[in-house]
Structure 1
Amino acid sequence: MTAPIRHAAFCGAAVLLLAAAPAGAGQCGGTIYLTFDTGSQSQAELIAATLKRHAIRATFFLANEKTVRGDHALDPSWAGYWQARVAEGHAFGSHTFDHVYYTGDGPRGTIGVRPQFGAAAGKRQQWTAAQYCAEIKRVDARFAELTGHHLDPLWRAPGGKVSQRTIAAAHSCGYAHVGWAPAGFSGDELSSTAYPNAVLLKKSLDTLRDGDIFMAHMGIWSRRDAWAPANLEPLIAGLEKKGFCFATLREHPGFGKGHIQR
């Protein structure tokens, strides 16, 4: 979980500039890029159903996180879910396999990390760039096993915590980092007492602009009043009413085809 100031600082640093997309043709007055990171997966089915109902394609960033089912998000038990999302045309990126937090640059070019899951859960380690890259690619290998399809060449660091060293490590094996716009932070990781859903929804509807990347999770363990059931439908409806269209990061001018190559 990260504090608002950390998200703001990350977005301000903007390792890759989130270029605004041109307004779409016809009735499309602008484009919003919805992205969802794995989490407890308590809202996975609701998110999928809502996107399908509105004929929206989004981008999912996957890690093998523990879920409310008692399994993990990239276990074979989730194969059907991810296969259905592939069939619907969504895009997919890596969120690191064990939801590995960056903790700081180490000596001799190493990268400080702390995995949240897996055999080394909770242990601080120093990785080489090659090890960091391999962790990102583990998601692609598992996703291919589950769905027969590979990820898009995109990744997102847990908590949005990165450095030039982690960015370079991922780039060396063909992955571009994707953050989110300042207005695109859903706030679903924050306390629902201090940041109730109605406040977060109003903030998003008031501040999202053409080309913004929006980030939410597929369920957060710590939030008492879950974000998605209350906010996802009215957020989409409100943005559609304002004339916005939606697209995956495959269509983003900074991340789409021709901009990223492995």
Structure 2
Amino acid sequence: MRRCLAAVLALAHCGAFAASCDKPVYLTFDTGHMGVAPLVAELLKRYDAKATFFLANEPTQSGGKTLDEEWAPWWKARAAEGHDFGSHTWEHDTWLADLPDGRFRVRTAAGIEKPQVRELSAEQYCEGLRKPAQRFLAMTGKTMPPIFRPPAGKSSPALLAAAQACGFTAVLWSPAGFLGDELNSERYPNALLLERALRDIRPGDILMAHLGIWQRQDAWAPAVLEPLMKGLTAKGMCFAPLREHPRYAPLMQQQMQGRQP
């Protein structure tokens, strides 16, 4: 049954956000090599699903970057379809350690790029969060909500506080929502990942996958993604954007009000 979530969203008008079913799950994608991006877009349309994308400027199979002019039309089309978006840091900076002087040690690595260990101030880390939002605005004309996903899900209380100070709230994923597309395909074949996901995912879970993983030999999409969406739909679940999640709904109001993070 479709129903309005005005109370959850704390909005004055029920129609301000799309309606949701009674058993939502929140499908999210981090950027990757983009090889499966057209397929993901097709499946989202087929299942009338809304997703949330976390953007970093990563290398693509075509030799460019995920946020370059080649992919700008793809992002603009997804924004027009009503999906949600967040930052994934511009250079895909994975937290390694807090430093005594307030800086952070990070590993800068995306896809096939050679990893580099860097030290960033809180302001430099914040700038890495802002750049995808600025690029998203340039590509789509829309404001990115003030959410981010730390690469690899790694962070610290100090890093989260620094991000919060510059307006960003972290979004991770549910334990059952780790869909495993970045795992070794010999140890974690697609059949195993699908079985585990269909068994363990429950309404309210945040799910996480990527728009293409370089190191996985046995492609995860569509082999897992399509039957997963079909199976969860058969269980009465729907795919909702994070703007309908009870925790993140108040933050997403900034998008409605046209403010940048």
Q: TM-score range by the shorter chain?
A: 0.7 to 0.9
Q: Is the 8 A contact 2:182 2:215 kept in 1?
A: yes
The reply on whether 1:38 has 2:31 as its aligned counterpart is: yes
Aligned partners of 1:250, 1:202: CA distance in 2, in Å? Answer: 28
Pick aligned residue for 1:145 from 115, 138, 145: 138
Deviation of 1:192 after TM superposition, in Å, equals: 0.8
What is the CA deviation profile of residues 123-143 of structure 1, one whole-angstrom value per residue up to 9, with x for unaligned ones?
Answer: 322211111111100111111
Residue number in structure 2 paired with 1:175:
168
Q: Deviation of residue 27 (structure 1)?
A: 10
Is 2:164 the counterpart of 1:164? no
Q: Distance in 1 between matches of 2:89 and 2:228?
A: 28
Q: 1:192 — aligned with what?
A: 185
Q: How does 1:1-262 map to 2 (within 5 A)?
A: 28-116=21-109, 122-257=115-250
What is the TM-score of this pair, normalised by structure 2?
0.86
Give the SS at the match of 1:101.
strand
Partners of 2:207 and 2:50 lie apart in 1 by 13
* Partners of 1:245 and 1:125 in 2: CA distance: 41
Q: How big is the shift at 1:114?
A: 2.1
The amino acid that maps onto 1:63 is A
The letter of the residue matching 2:125 is Y
4+ residue segments displaced more than 4 Å: 258-262
Q: CA deviation at 1:259?
A: 7.4
Instruction: Tell me the matched-pair count.
Output: 237
* Secondary structure in structure 2 of the residue aligned to 1:36: strand
Q: 5+ residue gaps in structure 1?
A: 1-20
Deviations 1:82-112 (A, max 9, x none): 0100010000000000111111101211111
- What runs of 5+ residues in structure 2 fail to find an aligned partner? 1-8, 10-18, 255-260
CA RMSD of aligned residues (A): 2.1
Provide Cα deviations, 1:178-203, integer angstroms capped at 9, x if missing partner. 00000000111111111010110011
Q: Counterparts of 1:121 and 1:250 in 2: how far apart (Å)?
A: 35
CA distance in 1 between partners of 2:83 and 2:224 (Å): 21
Name the aligned partner's letter for residue 256 of structure 1. A
Counterpart of 1:5 in structure 2 is: none
Normalized against structure 1, the TM-score is what?
Answer: 0.86
Q: Distance in 1 between matches of 2:132 and 2:147?
A: 11
- Aligned-pair identity (%): 50
Alignment partner of 2:119: what SS? strand
Q: Alpha-carbon deviation of 1:53?
A: 1.0
